[in-house]
């Protein structure tokens, strides 16, 4: 249907509608009034409640611990320049991990061939530009050197989060101008590992995305 | 008097007490408890629900403006927008995109609107393979079944059912362990995701000012579907709009808590246009199909408020009727209180007249609905319409006339009470489960209390001495 005809039909229906009275201007966001808490403690508690892990013992110790428990494996990582500390990717390759390129060709054939290589990726290493204490979420943003697949296709997702980027809740982050939700092709709130409760409402982790989520705190 | 349609009652009669309906009931009770816990833990829930209502009502009253703004924003990003008047137009456009993209293998993320337009069948007609990737929808597709819940499609399945299905359809060794069943699905679908030519998603919310679409999932299939294939098509009902990212945030705060008791679902995936310059991955093509398919009719109806619905499923779980009859009794893809309002207006009243009566007017759905949609009020309006049309419960009209005649004439009224009390005296207490004549229509679906042995008026006079 033509756009104008479609919208005209909507317009004339609005004329007939018996909607309860709503505000004439967009009411906009609401920043919730939540009790004051220790942001780091609340965030850690919330991440653990959704089966994630928070590491506070430094990047090197955390990365060593994670690789020790799963063994060396293939890795998709964000470029070092987009991670809040230097040398994180090197730490994993030193531990025996092999880097898989996250640069996907644009043509159909090249794309398929490249992505066929993602089947057995074990680790994903990304930054996190913000976190929400109330829900235990982290925020990742796509862009140059920041493949989306790094937080999606591996079994274990490792995210490096600067401690001064923990906000009280989603609304506290979203209502400040830096949030710029539509400033990239893809912005994701990640709240714990991939899960399903489709079979008898019983929770299972790692159905399509990562089975483990490790948030490593980086002191600001 | 026209024949009354008993389609819902017949279906419900077949479903009640089955293992399937029992499974839906117990699943719904789990979801009620999860929601209650999440709402209790969030002191801002009431304020956020109020704001979500204001945002939805404001948006609906200005829907044409926001749709135009949204379409402009998507196009400015290099995306494509198609306005579809009905299911046929939507399916035709999507088939065209698939043709141009040479798409043989298509992955889908659970979407009620694509169920509504029967998109899979349309694509399969062209010889394409369409794979549902949400675990529940994957099971439904393998079994050629129908979803029983808008959020949890296989609420009516047991783990044993799933085990048998996977053995029969995927050739794996039988297991009923959910962790293993989950692993089987992961392995099977992983290769399909990475090879798919096209990904089709629904839309939880579309943001007008930015041209973004937001898709929430727990499994991550929403992200894979919108990341791995070269082409992404998002299909949305035209009412899915919110004005700005700030408004989107409000809706997200209430959606997860109301639906599955989560503060936010595992993945809240906001897509704004196709892959950008320098992006290492993501789809090259981005299409949005905006669907009317009867929604403008609903918007112009006395129940237009139903378009404020955000499809959380809380009204299904809390509904005492849904929990007993299950999702399939409703006959359409939208069951429960929201379906009872939406389906007749969207798809036509024929054979759906009884849906307005699939309700005890207990009001529980209004208590839990995030944007506080007056579902019970709208079901009463629909009952009025059904009675006015005279095509259902026609027996009620002569009965009500008789009542009016008796109730306005004291002598007749007292006489009828005495007659009724004689019936009560014959077998005191309990309920009539079957009445003759027009009363039979009542007792075919409900019991009627037997009249008291002594009418109240007689008792009052005797007690008071007046």
Give the CATH number for residue B156.
3.40.50.10420
B265-297 as b/e: b if 16+ CB within 10 A: bbbbbbbbbbbbeebbbbbbbbbbbbbbbbbbb
B139 found inside a domain: yes
Decide if B246 and A194 are in contact by the 8 Å CB cutoff.
no
Q: B229: distance to nearest CA of chain A, Å?
A: 8
Q: Which residues of B touch A25 (CB under 8 A)?
A: 58
Give the closest of B44, B68, B297 to A33, CB-based.
Answer: B44
- Partners of B25 on chain A (C-beta within 8 Å) are none
The CATH number of A34-218 is 3.40.50.10420
Task: Please indicate, yes or no, whether residues B272 and B416 belong to a single structural domain of this protein.
Answer: no
pLDDT at A209 over 90: yes
Last-in-domain residue among B358, B389, B420: B389
Residues B253, B307, single domain; the answer is: no
Residues of chain B contacting A142 with CB distance shorter than 8 Å: 276, 279, 281-282
Using alpha carbons, select from A152, A14, A13 the residue that is nearest to residue A76. Answer: A152
Q: Are residues B172 and B245 in the same domain?
A: yes
Domain of B120, in residue numbers: 44-293
Residue of B85, B153, B263 with shortest CB distance to A134: B263
pLDDT for the residue B425: 65
**What is the rounded distance in angstroms from the CA atom of residue B103 to the CA atom of residue B106?**
7
d(CA A185, CA B275): 6
B293, B324, B356: which is the final residue of a domain?
A: B293
Residue B424's pLDDT is 61
Rounded distance between C-alpha atoms, residue B455 and residue B422, angstroms: 10
What residue in B sits closest to A204 (Cα-Cα)?
B179
Round to whole Å and give the CA distance between A195 and B333: 24
- Domain assignment present for B20: no
- For residue A21, the distance in angstroms to the closest alpha carbon of chain B comes to 7
B321 and B212 inside one domain = no
CATH number at residue B385: 1.10.1060.10
Contact assignment for A191 to B268 by CB distance below 8 Å: yes
Find, in chain A, the residue whose alpha carbon is nearest to that of B49: A30
Choose the closest CB to A208 out of B162, B221, B302: B221
Residues B149 and B288 in one domain: yes
B388: phi then psi, degrees, rounded to nearest 5: -60, -40
* B415, B371: one domain: no
B290 and A6 within 8 Å at the Cβ level: the answer is yes
**Residue B284 at interface with chain A, using a CB cutoff of 8 Å:** yes
Look at residue B425 and tell me if it is in a domain. yes
**What's residue B6's pLDDT?**
72
Question: What pLDDT does residue B428 have?
Answer: 64
Give every strand in the sheet of B241-242, ordered side by side: A166-167, A130-132, A137-141, A186-190, B267-271, B212-217, B205-207, B241-242
Spell out the alpha helix ranges (H) of B305-409. 314-318, 320-325, 336-347, 364-368, 375-389, 396-407
Backbone angles phi, psi at B458, to 5 degrees: -65, -45
Residues 53-92 of A with CB under 8 A from B: none
CA distance B6 to A146: 58
Of A10, A16, A169, the CB nearest to B63: A10
User: Is position B132 within any domain?
Assistant: yes
B57 and B155 both lie in a single domain? yes
For residues B183 and B256, membership in a common domain is answered with yes
How far apart CA B319 and CA B311 sit, in angstroms, is 15
- Whether residues B380 and B437 share a domain: the answer is no
Q: Are residues B444 and B404 in the same domain?
A: yes
* CB atoms A191 and B263 under 8 Å: yes
Is B2 within the bounds of a domain? no
Choose, out of B155, B164, B182, the residue to mutate when testing the contact with A (most A CBs < 10 Å).
B182
The Cβ of residue A109 has, within 10 Å, a number of other Cβ atoms equal to 8
Q: Where are the alpha helices (DSSP H) in B77-177?
A: 87-100, 112-116, 119-125, 135-143, 159-170
Flag whether B28 is in a domain.
Answer: no
Nearest CB to B218: which of A25, A34, A194?
A194
Q: How many Å apart are CA B268 and CA B217, to the nearest integer? A: 7
How many domains does chain B divide into? 3
Residues B99, B140 within the same domain: yes
**For residue B1, what pLDDT is reported?**
32
A81 CB-contact burial (10 Å; exposed 0-12 / middle 13-18 / buried 19+):
exposed
B323 with B371, same domain: the answer is yes
B contacts of A138 (beta carbons < 8 Å): none
pLDDT given at position B3? 46
Whether A184 contacts chain B with CB within 8 A: yes
Q: Does B433 lie at the interface with A, CB-CB under 8 angstroms?
A: no
Chain A residues with CB inside 8 Å of B56's CB?
A: 22
Q: pLDDT tens digits, chain B, 466 residues: what are they?
A: 344 457 899 999 999 999 999 999 999 999 999 999 999 999 999 999 999 999 999 999 999 999 999 999 999 999 999 999 999 999 999 999 999 999 999 999 989 999 999 999 999 999 999 999 999 999 999 999 998 998 889 989 999 999 999 999 999 999 999 999 999 999 999 999 999 999 999 999 999 999 999 999 999 999 999 999 999 999 999 999 999 999 999 999 999 999 999 999 999 999 999 999 999 999 999 999 999 999 999 999 999 999 999 999 999 999 999 999 999 999 999 999 999 999 999 999 989 999 999 999 999 999 999 999 999 999 999 999 988 876 555 556 666 777 777 777 777 777 776 777 666 666 666 777 777 776 777 777 677 777 777 888 888 888 876 5
Per the CB < 8 A criterion, the answer to whether A64 and A32 are in contact is no
Q: What is the largest CA-CA distance in chain B?
A: 94
Selected for mutation to probe chain B from A2, A15, A135, A198 (highest B CB count within 10 Å) is: A198
> Between chains, do B55 and A11 touch, taking CB under 8 Å as contact?
no
CA nearest to B222 within chain A: A208
């Amino acid at each position: 249907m033509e756009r104008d005809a479609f919208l005209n039909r909507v317009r004339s229906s609005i004329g007939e509608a018996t909607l309860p009275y709503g505000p004439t201007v967009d009411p906009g966001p609401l920043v919730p009034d939540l009790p004051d808490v220790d942001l780091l403690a609340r965030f850690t508690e919330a991440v653990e409640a959704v089966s994630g892990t928070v590491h506070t013992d430094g990047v090197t110790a955390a990365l060593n611990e994670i690789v020790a428990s799963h063994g060396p494996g293939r890795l998709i990582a964000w470029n070092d320049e987009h991670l809040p500390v230097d040398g994180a990717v090197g730490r994993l390759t030193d531990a025996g991990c092999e880097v898989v390129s996250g640069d996907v060709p644009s043509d159909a054939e090249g794309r398929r061939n490249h992505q066929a290589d993602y089947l057995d990726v074990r680790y994903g290493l990304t930054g996190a530009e913000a976190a929400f204490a109330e829900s235990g979420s982290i925020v990742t943003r796509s862009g140059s050197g920041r493949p989306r697949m790094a937080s999606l296709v591996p079994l274990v997702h490792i995210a490096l989060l600067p401690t001064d980027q923990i906000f009280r809740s989603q609304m506290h982050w979203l209502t400040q101008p830096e949030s710029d939700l539509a400033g990239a092709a893809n912005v994701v709130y990640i709240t714990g590992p991939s899960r399903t409760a489709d079979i008898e409402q019983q929770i299972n982790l790692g159905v399509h995305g990562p089975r483990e989520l490790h948030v490593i705190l980086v002191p600001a | 008097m026209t024949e009354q349609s008993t389609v819902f009652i017949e279906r419900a009669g077949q479903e009640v007490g089955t293992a399937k309906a029992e499974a839906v009931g117990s699943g719904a009770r789990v979801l009620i408890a999860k929601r209650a816990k999440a709402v209790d833990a969030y002191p801002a829930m009431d304020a956020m629900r109020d704001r979500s209502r204001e945002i939805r009502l404001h948006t609906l009253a200005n829907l044409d403006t926001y749709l135009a703004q949204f379409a402009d924003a998507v196009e400015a990003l290099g995306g494509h927008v198609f306005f579809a008047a009905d299911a046929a137009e939507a399916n035709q456009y999507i088939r065209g995109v698939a043709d141009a993209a040479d798409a043989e293998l298509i992955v889908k993320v659970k979407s009620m609107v694509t169920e509504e337009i029967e998109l899979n069948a349309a694509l399969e007609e062209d010889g394409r393979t369409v794979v549902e990737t949400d675990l529940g929808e994957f099971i439904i597709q393998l079994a050629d079944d129908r979803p029983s819940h808008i959020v949890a499609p296989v609420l009516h399945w047991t783990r044993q059912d799933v085990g048998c299905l996977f053995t029969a359809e995927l050739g794996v060794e039988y297991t009923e362990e959910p962790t293993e069943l989950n692993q089987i699905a992961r392995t099977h679908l992983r290769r399909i995701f990475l090879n798919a030519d096209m990904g089709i998603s629904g839309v939880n919310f579309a943001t007008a000012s930015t041209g973004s679409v937001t898709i929430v999932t727990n499994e991550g299939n929403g992200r894979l579907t919108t990341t791995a294939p070269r082409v992404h098509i998002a299909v949305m009902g035209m009412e899915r709009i919110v004005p700005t990212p700030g408004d989107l945030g409000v809706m997200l705060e209430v959606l997860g808590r109301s639906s599955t008791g989560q503060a936010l679902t595992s993945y809240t995936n906001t897509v704004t246009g196709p892959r950008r310059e320098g992006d290492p991955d993501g789809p090259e093509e981005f299409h949005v199909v905006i669907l009317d398919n009867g929604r403008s009719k609903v918007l112009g109806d006395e129940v237009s408020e139903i378009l404020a619905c955000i499809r959380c499923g809380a009204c299904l779980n809390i509904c005492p009727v849904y929990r007993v009859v299950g999702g399939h009794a409703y006959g359409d893809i939208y069951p429960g209180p929201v379906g009872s309002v939406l389906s007749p207006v969207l798809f036509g009243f024929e054979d759906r007249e009884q849906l307005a009566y699939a309700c005890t007017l207990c009001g529980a759905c209004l208590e839990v609905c995030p944007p506080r949609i007056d579902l019970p009020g709208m079901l009463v309006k629909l009952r009025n319409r059904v009675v006015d049309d005279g095509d259902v419960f026609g027996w009620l009209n002569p009965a009500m006339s008789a009542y009016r005649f008796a109730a306005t004439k004291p002598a007749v009224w007292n006489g009828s009470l005495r007659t009724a009390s004689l019936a009560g005296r014959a077998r005191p207490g309990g309920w009539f489960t079957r009445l003759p004549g027009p009363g039979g229509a009542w007792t075919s679906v409900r019991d009627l209390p037997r009249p008291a042995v002594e009418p109240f008026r007689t008792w009052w006079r005797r007690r008071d001495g007046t």
